[in-house]
């Protein structure tokens, strides 16, 4: 049984807080708008090259550090991924240990309901998922851009009368579908475009 299957099984009986995935993404987007432009751009990281990039390990006070390569506005740059012993992680741009550009993590629940920090393997899975997701950025000049892996796609003129834009994202053999509601969040799926009514 994979970790994802274990999570689904563990959380299948829990009630949601009433927030759907779109509302959670909207809140996350609103929070990101308060971050400086460099941090927001770094949060637009599209891909983390975990395999074959010469990952470096070092134990420190916070946990395990890995030097990774990530895409930032179509350019590769170095970053430090720090896995913390409390089941969380932080990603810092090289040379800037003060401001994390991305963070996450949390806890998992055992079959008996006991809470525990996420393991290194679980954290790496979450990092991979988060960094593979596209990011939508609204520039000061009024343009709207999608960052996906090493791609930068302008979608400014693609919005319909209802403020919805559909973008098919292709990276090699991988295809996914991005539905953007202008200045109101986005939904991303590997299966299909989102229903525009889900943004209301």
Q: Give the Cα separation of 131 and 149 in Å (integer).
A: 9
What is the sign of the dihedral through the CA atoms of 18, 29, 73 and 120? negative
Q: Which of 65, 121, 132 is nearest to 97 (CA)?
A: 65
Please count the helices (runs of H) and the strands (runs of E) in the chain: 4, 13
Going by the DSSP 8-state scheme, the letter that residue 141 receives in this structure is T
φ, ψ of residue 114 to 5 degrees: the values are: -75, 135
Give me the phi and psi of 38, to 5 degrees please. -65, -40
Return per-residue pLDDT of the chain as tens, 200 residues: 666 666 556 555 555 444 455 555 555 555 444 343 444 444 443 333 333 333 333 334 446 777 776 766 666 777 888 888 788 888 888 777 777 677 788 888 889 989 888 888 888 888 777 777 788 899 999 999 998 888 899 999 999 999 999 999 998 898 999 999 998 889 988 899 998 888 76
For residue 46, CA distances in Å to 19, 32, 56, 98, 191 come to: 26, 16, 21, 22, 19
């Amino acid at each position: 049984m994979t970790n994802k299957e274990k999570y689904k099984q563990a959380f299948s009986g829990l009630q949601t807080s009433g927030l759907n995935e779109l509302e959670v993404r909207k809140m996350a987007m609103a929070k990101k708008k308060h971050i400086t432009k460099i941090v927001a751009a770094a949060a637009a990281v599209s891909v983390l090259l975990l395999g074959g990039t010469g990952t470096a390990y070092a134990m420190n006070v916070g946990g395990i550090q890995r030097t990774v390569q990530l895409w930032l506005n179509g350019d590769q740059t170095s970053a430090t991924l720090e896995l913390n012993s409390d089941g969380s992680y932080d990603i810092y741009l090289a040379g800037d240990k003060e401001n994390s550009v991305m963070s996450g993590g949390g806890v998992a629940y055992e079959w008996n309901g006991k809470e525990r920090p996420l393991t290194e393997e679980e954290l790496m899975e979450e990092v991979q998922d988060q960094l593979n997701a596209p990011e939508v950025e609204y520039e000061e000049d009024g343009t709207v851009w999608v960052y996906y892996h090493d791609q930068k796609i302008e979608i400014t003129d693609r919005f319909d009368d209802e403020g919805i834009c559909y973008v098919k994202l292709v990276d090699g053999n991988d295809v996914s579908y991005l539905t953007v509601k202008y200045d109101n969040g986005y939904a991303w799926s590997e299966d299909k475009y989102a229903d525009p009514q889900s943004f209301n």
